[in-house]
Amino acid sequence: MIRATDLRDRLGCSSFPQSLISSSQSHMSRQYTLQRTPVSTSIHLDYAAELNEQQLAAVTALPGPLLVIAGAGSGKTRTLTYRVAYLLENGIDPRNVLLLTFTNKAAREMLNRVANLLPVDASGLWGGTFHSVGNRILRRHGTALGYSSGFSIMDREDQKDLINTVVASAGIDPKEIRFPKGDVLAEIFSFVVNTEMPLEALLAEKFPYFLPLLDKIQDVRDRYEKKKKATNSMDFDDLLQKTLLMFQQHERIAEIYRRQFQFILVDEYQDTNKIQADLVDLLARDHRNLMVVGDDAQSIYSWRGANFQNIVEFPKRYPDAQVFKIEMNYRSVPEILEVANAAIAANVQQFRKHLSATRESKTVKPALVALNNSAEQAQFVAQRILELRDENIDPNDIAVLYRAHYHALELQLELSRRGIPYQITSGIRFFEQAHIKDVISFIRFVANPRDEVAFNRMVKLLPGIGNRTAENLWQAWESGVVAAGADRGSEMTAVPAGVNAPGYSFGDRLLAMNVPAKSKKMWTQLAHTLNEIAPGGEPNPPSEMITSIVEAIYDDYAKVNFANYQLRREDLDQLAAFARQFRDVNEFLSQLALISNVDAEAAAVQTNEKEAVNLSSVHQAKGLEFHTVFVIWLTDGMFPSSRSLDTRDALEEERRLFYVAITRARDELYLTYPHMRLSGGYGDVFQRPSRFLQEIPNDLLEDWQVKRS
């Protein structure tokens, strides 16, 4: 075990000169050190008794660059906590330690654990998220960049409003040229900062439909930067970007913090982006006492800017780095871990490791379950959940995981039918999402031309139409409907809602109405679309209507209004596929309404009983664990997603995502896939089992043959 003097000797100094932290002189000066109040340096903790051998080696490592590859369920947080305790117990001043995490809660929990382990005041230790630490530094030194210490931090809503103001000042009319909205621009600017990619390259990769607007978007970004400075405001990304910029431009300030933070520890390093890694490397440049902890096999956030190369290339950036692997898993039974090890084995870019179980075998292998179609898949999962509940498994300890939100569509319907409470941790329920309700509003309107709510939602999607204009248009439409009904006597009320007299035309009626000039073009498009989806007033089948609405109107709207346009488009395609089982529009809308009502009742039950099955995307489930996990829709094109099949890097991230899904399970794991699925325009489509399933040896899984009674 090393002593405090060993740690300080390795640094090349007898002690850190606290008296000189806040000053730096260009002339020769004498360094005078105020010693902190002595504390007992006798070892209070029996680290060998508290940690396994792999954890102990990482915790007690000598200073220098350290990479700790901590497998799923291996006690990563415990390792970091004990490393902090070890440094403090060996005489390192808490003020010389920086602990960077991805949530302030994680930092607080670790520091609380340290406080419980040691009778040492660790209040001087800097711990928190990258952004909170950046904010703290900028409050002290932001004047170097022209900001006062009282600068405002904008939330995303503030940021959107300021960007919209800038767009208007640039003379751009978003309604005329389909310019991205403030929310989307904020997302684009955030990607540029966090990935350090040039704007043009970023657009080409993620938003290719905006490339023709490159110059205008760049002009807005330049104006936005000036506006922030003029108003003494920063957005969330500035807390990183401006901190790094200040360090790069003002060596004196960078030196202060390089000298202060003698030991830097980073949690979840696989999730860091380019700018976060650059910030850490800059602060650790001189002393190189940097411990980064993470799991390359759980790097799954490239879509939001995380850079997988940060952890993979760490030994190249720090050739003298010590690499520790923690492979003892405390979460899952051996049978699940064997499947997890096999699932990740095919990845080329990885630190090879083998998770070993500390728990005893249950002799029950993970189940591989092939079903005929998505409806049968949903029925299987629902029935098995009820059986598990009868076996006294808490529903809160059961999770259904999927690659994309729309994969849970049929399952939500089935759980609702059976009265099984569920909670969605991956976002709001499928049919409650804005883009789903937007498209459904068109269908509701043609089914019932007196639906004011549907009319208002539909027309407000068009440029130049806000609340007041929509209200005026509704009054004009309503008076026209009444007049049309009067002309036909009692005919309109005598027939089912939405079914009109022969030759009835939504489009002709719309075209006769007065709309703002800037709305005229899209209003005409709306008229033609309504005629297309309800020729002669008679609605087409729901699936056909959805496809027409999306292609004619909503696709363009979604591109400029949603940063995650591609995911929303996939949802809408799946909605069209789901709707194929309904020929009648009223039956389709009734089912949606019933689902929503049952969902509301289930939510109320859930609130009272606090027992609900968890439905979640794999991304949202990272860091969680459950007694039983179902991973559904394991077919090629669904999981892995079709967008990931073109490049090795993308496919390897999908495989890591599959690995994360498997390692959420403690006791039981079910891997399911349907042979067939409904498609929006091509009928039933045959599904290939996911290539990831084919990479798992047959003897590690139990094949379940499902038959109907």
- Burial label for 51, CB within 10 Å (0-12, 13-18, 19+), is buried
How many residues comprise the chain?
A: 709
Contact 358, 330 (CB under 8 A): yes
3-state helix, strand, coil in the chain (%, to 5): 55, 15, 30
pLDDT at 558 over 90: yes
Q: Could you report the per-residue pLDDT of 648-657, keeping only the tens digit for each?
A: 999 999 999 9
* From 268, 414, 599, 667, active-site residue: 268
Would you call 664 a catalytic residue per the annotation?
yes
Q: Could you report the per-residue pLDDT of 607-626, keeping only the tens digit for each?
A: 445 689 999 999 999 989 99
> Which residue, among 601, 606, 570, has the nearest Cα to 680 in the 3D structure?
570
* From 77, 165, 322, 566, active-site residue: 77
- Burial label for 294, CB within 10 Å (0-12, 13-18, 19+), is buried
- Between 118 and 440, residue with greater pLDDT: 440
pLDDT at 559 over 70: yes
* From 235, 267, 376, 653, active-site residue: 267
- Between 405 and 65, residue with greater pLDDT: 65
| Cβ atoms within 10 Å, residue 251 | 11
Q: Could you tell me the pLDDT band of residue 304, with boundaries at 50, 70 and 90?
A: confident
Q: Could you report the per-residue pLDDT of 230-285, keeping only the tens digit for each?
A: 889 999 999 999 999 999 999 999 999 999 999 999 999 999 999 999 999 999 99
Highest mean pLDDT out of 376-390, 513-527, 593-607, 677-691: 376-390
Name the packing angle between helices 434-447 and 542-549 (round to 10°): 120
Torsions phi, psi for 636 (to 5 deg): -60, 130
> Which residue, among 436, 408, 432, has the nearest Cα to 422 in the 3D structure?
408
Would you call 259 a catalytic residue per the annotation?
no
Would you call 200 a catalytic residue per the annotation?
no
The confidence score (pLDDT) of residue 426 equals: 59
The confidence score (pLDDT) of residue 490 equals: 30
Whole-number Å distance between alpha carbons of 539 and 384 = 39
Q: What type of residue is 531?
A: N
Q: Which residue has the tokens 């990258």?
A: 130
Section 203-216 average pLDDT:
93
Q: Could you report the per-residue pLDDT of 398-434, keeping only the tens digit for each?
A: 999 999 888 988 898 899 889 899 998 756 677 888 9
| Cβ atoms within 10 Å, residue 637 | 16
Q: Could you tell me the pLDDT band of residue 220, with boundaries at 50, 70 and 90?
A: very high
- Between 520 and 479, residue with greater pLDDT: 520
Least confident range of 120-129, 169-178, 488-497:
488-497
The confidence score (pLDDT) of residue 174 equals: 66
Section 541-553 average pLDDT:
93
Would you call 429 a catalytic residue per the annotation?
no
Would you call 77 a catalytic residue per the annotation?
yes
Q: Could you tell me the pLDDT band of residue 156, with boundaries at 50, 70 and 90?
A: confident
Going by the DSSP 8-state scheme, the letter that residue 211 receives in this structure is G
Highest mean pLDDT out of 32-41, 163-172, 281-290, 683-692: 281-290
- Between 217 and 16, residue with greater pLDDT: 217
* From 83, 242, 664, 677, active-site residue: 664
pLDDT exceeding 70 applies to what percent of the chain?
86
Whole-number Å distance between alpha carbons of 185 and 561 = 9
Angle, vertex CA 171, rays to CA 467 and CA 560, nearest 5 = 55
The confidence score (pLDDT) of residue 115 equals: 78
Would you call 599 a catalytic residue per the annotation?
no
Going from the C-alpha of 199 to that of each of 163, 194, 307, 576, the distances in angstroms are: 16, 12, 17, 34
**Exposed e or buried b per residue across 156-195, where buried means at least 16 C-beta atoms within 10 angstroms of its C-beta:** eeebbebbbebbeeeebebbeeebbbbbbbbbbbbbbbbb
The confidence score (pLDDT) of residue 2 equals: 43
3-state secondary structure of 231: coil
Structural tokens at position 117: 């382990």
3-state secondary structure of 615: strand
Q: What type of residue is 697?
A: P
- Close Cβ partners of 352 (under 8 Å, ≥ 6 residues apart): none
* From 8, 55, 76, 242, active-site residue: 76
